[in-house]
Structure 1
């Protein structure tokens, strides 16, 4: 059995090591702001996507006071604040610390943890002990402070939704007493007691850091095969026997609408951008019921209940009227985009406007629009990839790690820009 977790959490704004990659790892945080064309950007890590109503209020206060007044959801269930003044960093950190959103200055970019959003709400096991335990362990580890801002932990309740996201370290609930530990994308997973799972996940991350020292690797997938095997061998004797469990190919987001009858409601957010009015509606709803929001890795939000049937229906009608996605037949279902122009200097087009102009019947596959080849925030699994290049829009079908030849390419970018109907038709055909 692994050693017991520490009895107490680290003190606020505890200090720790500095990442050896810090000069090259440009992932923003709340203490390291990123310069964008629309102002500075802060990324607030929300482990497991779990927010109390009071902490959600604090995020709204932060963007209202310092930013563009909107909340931007990420593909890891975190929140970005955009349009920040360049000199607001200290005051922003003070506000987030007071709200409990910044427990460790040294670890704030390392707290990348996604979790199954419906865990404990539809008959699946609760992941809260793992989530609080792992976050506490990460914040208490000097080594973990050196993790790249790209390194990702995933906590899966057994349904395979976040296991499919390709995290660096994944914990999977196998039963009340048993967990599985996956390192990278390996099909061989370790079986161990559920109570030992958070410490095993941290150990895997620390072993990755030792193996990656001097290699420039940010994530487990960046390691050579033999080095990944070394990490597994180091964790194995402590974790337990291995079993074969292939990683799911498709990451299934919660379906917008009621969840498990009325145990919760789920909504999606068009392009991941929430106005102050929409955010207040959601936090007010949370305060009336479970006092919690769960941000999903698919730029959606789950509001735990329970709700009476008529209450759930009325709440969904109100959220739908506010412009949120409350049913799977919404034209916005499965549509995503990076921030694009003018917010990003590298973007070659206003892809959010293009995505909006191309919204139509729900497609079989999700579609993601990127303003440049970096494809920031793109989904995982299978999707239609629309990338703006200097020569036009490249539209490809992506299946996991494989990309099919472009389904459609226009060499004249201006043609599509002046003919949004043609672009929309091409994308719709690819999604179908």
Structure 2
């Protein structure tokens, strides 16, 4: 049940601490207006809440909604009525009453948590406990708005490349479920530092966060910054919970299941769809909400690939649902060139951007075919806001319509190895429209 409307709403600009990150209560100015970020619990968005977001985007902003790479939503182009927008979203149950508890709700789950056939356990109960811990513990409100936790239940559909300050991943041991954990790394390249029985998962999260806040200075807002000066062994020694550190070497493979099209569930089917370049129109979101309500379980799952999953759809209506979503403008197949491209807001909405990446991405997509790399990232500046890990190929803007091409290299930091400089989108498209193995020629 959504909370009652605010009687005396606080101005969204009043925040527990300064931050450049938008939130529900912190609307950040951009070239195209204000940005409000709605942090969804494990990516879950109920159909009625989706309608409320669409209504808010039309009533208080310019109608532009973005799916983010942390499985959240953003409303862009917000006008002057910040308080009205926040009231509207809170009335739909889309954020906490305490502004201080909004920043820290950074918990990533699989978009098919509780439904994925490969899962070792249903992460949703523990996820709810972790979110409650973050929201209701005043000390944890000191964490950075970027401090992030991932809970992996062994699902096939899982983001394995995003780095997190703390991650937990399920494994089987002697007939029981345990949680391995790592710090300042991703599931695909991190080292498991220890493990606890799944029943101790919440206690482990609390212990790690307490230890971090005990040791970190105000300048060390992320786990990676702390571990640059604090040996990980020293960090682990101070945890107030016993952990098992035997036989910990492990990595989750970087590959994952496709996130568009028909997705298997333990019971029934799901459908993954994506708005082109992460941009949702109000009509797209309302269409997805209507189909989820009519033929699904009444909910949508946002994903870290800037897409949505409609879960528990009636199999007999699957093709009808896909046709209606495609008609609304959604991408429904992995083969579509735009499904393989990520682009930041670009100069149309960001003052720091050096190029109109959204428009250039459309130009690039028209040049790509099936042989292109798995994903291409267009970034209008070195901050790489649109992608939380290095893509196989990155086009970094240097001027309007001009890009440097980087290819991911695990031996190099950042975007990887510079392959070519000062390319137009057309020139980049000619290079990228080759099988990946020929990009080094």
- The aligned residue for residue 17 of structure 2 is 22
Q: Give the distance between the partners of 2:248 and 2:15, measured in 1 at CA.
A: 34
Could you tell which deviates more after superposition, 261-270 or 36-45? 261-270
* Post-superposition CA distance 1:280-328 (Å, at most 9, x none): 11111111211111100110111111422x3112211221222212112
The secondary structure found in structure 2 opposite 1:297 is coil
For the structure 1 residues 366 and 237, does the alpha-carbon distance in structure 2 shift closer, same or farther, using more than 3 Å as the test?
Answer: same
* Post-superposition CA distance 1:327-370 (Å, at most 9, x none): 12112122110000110111111111001011021423201101
The secondary structure found in structure 2 opposite 1:332 is helix
- The aligned residue for residue 96 of structure 1 is 89
- The runs of 5 or more residues in structure 2 that have no matched partner are none
Give matches, 1:167-246, under 5 Å: 167-175=164-172, 177-185=177-185, 186-214=190-218, 216-227=219-230, 229=232, 230-235=234-239, 237-246=241-250
Q: CA deviation at 1:232?
A: 2.3
Is 1:405 aligned with 2:417?
A: yes
Q: Give the distance between the partners of 1:33 and 1:245, measured in 2 at CA.
A: 42
Contact 1:395 1:427 in 2 (8 A): no
The count of aligned residue pairs is 409
The secondary structure found in structure 1 opposite 2:161 is helix
Q: Give the distance between the partners of 2:304 and 2:236, measured in 1 at CA.
A: 27
Match of 1:74 among 46, 68, 79: 68
The secondary structure found in structure 2 opposite 1:352 is helix
Q: Give the distance between the partners of 1:342 and 1:306, measured in 2 at CA.
A: 37
* Post-superposition CA distance 1:244-274 (Å, at most 9, x none): 2444462636431111174211112211111
Q: CA deviation at 1:12?
A: 10
For the structure 1 residues 430 and 81, does the alpha-carbon distance in structure 2 shift closer, same or farther, using more than 3 Å as the test?
Answer: farther
Q: Give the distance between the partners of 2:301 and 2:77, measured in 1 at CA.
A: 24
Give matches, 1:269-284, under 5 Å: 269-284=275-290
- The aligned residue for residue 146 of structure 1 is 142
Match of 1:286 among 267, 288, 292: 292
The secondary structure found in structure 2 opposite 1:188 is coil
Contact 1:407 1:430 in 2 (8 A): no
Q: Give the distance between the partners of 1:287 and 1:127, measured in 2 at CA.
A: 24
Q: Give the distance between the partners of 2:199 and 2:307, measured in 1 at CA.
A: 29
Give matches, 1:297-316, under 5 Å: 297-308=304-315, 310-316=316-322
Q: CA deviation at 1:380?
A: 2.0
Q: Give the distance between the partners of 1:12 and 1:126, measured in 2 at CA.
A: 33
- The aligned residue for residue 340 of structure 2 is 334
Contact 2:395 2:406 in 1 (8 A): yes
Give matches, 1:88-127, under 5 Å: 88-103=81-96, 104-123=98-117, 124=119, 125-127=121-123
For the structure 1 residues 108 and 171, does the alpha-carbon distance in structure 2 shift closer, same or farther, using more than 3 Å as the test?
Answer: same
For the structure 1 residues 242 and 150, does the alpha-carbon distance in structure 2 shift closer, same or farther, using more than 3 Å as the test?
Answer: farther
For the structure 1 residues 59 and 245, does the alpha-carbon distance in structure 2 shift closer, same or farther, using more than 3 Å as the test?
Answer: farther
* Post-superposition CA distance 1:181-201 (Å, at most 9, x none): 222225133221212213322
The secondary structure found in structure 1 opposite 2:433 is helix
Contact 1:334 1:365 in 2 (8 A): yes
Contact 1:21 1:148 in 2 (8 A): no
**TM-score, scaled to structure 1:** 0.87
* Post-superposition CA distance 1:133-181 (Å, at most 9, x none): 1111111111111111111111112147334321111121224632222
